[in-house]
Structure 1
């Protein structure tokens, strides 16, 4: 089995891999382009930075991370998403849960030395496992934020929220396992209403109201909390969420992570489905799981076998998979689907 440290290091230098930290409704994402200039690069120390964003994992807590590899359904029947959740036990994962705008002082732990004199503010989102922050050198913005320290950014009378949207300060997700930083503009009026390509952040108040630490479609064991995610290259979509030709190497690499880090019950179910298909059992002879994550694992396995059968046509196997999909992965069944964008 591969060591988690080696896995994290290798994916930091993989330009097709992405990372995210945050909570449900508030996330900061790090993406990089092939050949993009690096402003910091020390994978052995879990550091990577470009002109658009940065990530650093805390070397002291890496050995405490409990990884959970998982896959989620796409509303589009030929696709799926996958990731490795970087978790800590509930008692070790808590952030500061500040409930109002709070000045934290110069960001002396910034990934890039040039940012360490900038002033860091916790936005006060009361997130369970993440301090969602902004960082700026803008004197006017700093003055306005200081005037409104102690107030909620969701107060309609608080001018700080609008000022943040106009000034585009850096966004920083701070967790017990590290940080992700974004230097690009905030998605909104100045970006045509969409997040810019590459590193970006999302703050979705409607999702924050749920109080969840992660999507209900993510099979995280109850004793763990995900603080961040590694998003290895997806075999059926690119970094912008567009369809690609099925990449066997990317698929095989993630399946290796799934075998090592997936929930044991879901891994056993996958093996049972593959064994039944290998024995040419018809779908009526298979006892389908009744729980949410089991049903999703069955559907995901069939989607992947369908793509493999398309790649390597062999006798009647593709027809058998099609019958299984008609029985267990109907297009109308969208109850346990996620969007396709990494990190969301």
Structure 2
């Protein structure tokens, strides 16, 4: 999986670690100073706003997919790990964070918020005596029964540390209030209503049964920033992403994508099978990609006339963002 680890050091790629209702995301600007480390089987990058460390284990199964996002598309690879861990379901103090990505953070205390996901420890890290006292006062309780702790976390803004067996993602930026917006760059989502569903991932993610996403790579978009802003086309990014999708995608999805690409290249109008319900999403993706990367494609107009553009519910959302996560 060295090819996937190479994306950790790519500033155009994003990463997320979490579960349905509790998610940490790492993004960085292309010109943002960063400390980057690569060792066999491991890749780490740290900025002043956060960091991510990815170290796949031998039982990881990578799974790639692409789907509509906003008025464009997104592409991702989940590092699927066994979902048979013993994640905590109550607030638990873990002691000093000796594995912190930065040496200066290793004396601060790590507290697991107990989100109940089998594969995830969603933690906060702090040296704030008042916040630690408040967290210790509710230790052993589920987060949903911890009273004013959520408000105290927003006020204090401790580091967030989300850990699985294959990755660690740290966020140093402030926590926005409930009516605020997530900051650019690294940030977290914590939504108790979604956590109550007991899912490890959104229903739209094709994670195999018995597995959970230990970390998710959000592949760079060839014509948009991660926030969804248009940029000049980068065909090389699209080529690399497609190679990754072919290597790690579900075989049926890879076959369907290849068939649609061949039909679009050779047929002036979509053949009947391409208009079927089974191929609708794949055709829509191919047309969106052609519109942004090959707007003068000779068959694009006729195909689009037969396949009107579908509007996504996630219009305006960042391309790494799962609308279900809030």
Regarding TM over 0.5, the answer is yes
Give the drift of 1:54. 1.2
Give the structure 1 partner of residue 4 of structure 2. 7
Which runs of no fewer than 5 residues in structure 2 stay unpaired?
none
Residue aligning to 1:320: 302
Q: Quote the offset at 1:338 in angstroms.
A: 10
**Per the alignment, in what secondary structure is the counterpart of residue 236 of structure 2?**
helix
Helix, strand or coil for the counterpart of 1:268?
helix
Contact 1:283 1:323 in 2 (8 A): no
Name the counterpart of 1:242.
229
Tell me the equivalent position of 2:153. 164
1:64: which partner in 2? 59
Question: d(CA) in 2 for partners of 1:219 and 1:281?
Answer: 32
Is the Cα–Cα contact under 8 Å of residues 306 and 322 in structure 1 kept in the other structure? no
- Residue matched to 1:102: 92
**Structure 1 residues 50 and 31, CA gap change in structure 2 (3 angstroms):** same
Q: Tell whether the 8 Å contact from 2:26 to 2:52 is kept in structure 1 after alignment.
A: yes
TM-score, normalisation: structure 2: 0.89
Find the aligned partners of 1:141 and 1:6 in 2 and give their Cα distance.
Answer: 41
| CA apart distance, 1:339 | 4.6
Q: 2:177 aligns with which of 188, 191, 199?
A: 188
Which position in structure 2 is the counterpart of 1:42?
A: 37
TM-superposed deviation, 1:284: 5.4
Partner SS, residue 253 of structure 1: helix
Give the TM-score taking structure 1 as reference length: 0.85
The residue number in structure 2 matching 1:24 is 20
In structure 1, the residue matched to 2:287 is 302
SS at match of 1:250: helix
1:82 maps to which of 75, 96, 100: 75
CA distance in 1: counterparts of 2:230 and 2:245, whole angstroms: 22
Match of 1:126 in 2: 116
User: Which deviates more from structure 2 when the two are superposed, residues 276-285 or residues 225-234?
Assistant: 276-285
1:18 touches 1:30 (CA, 8 Å); kept in 2? yes
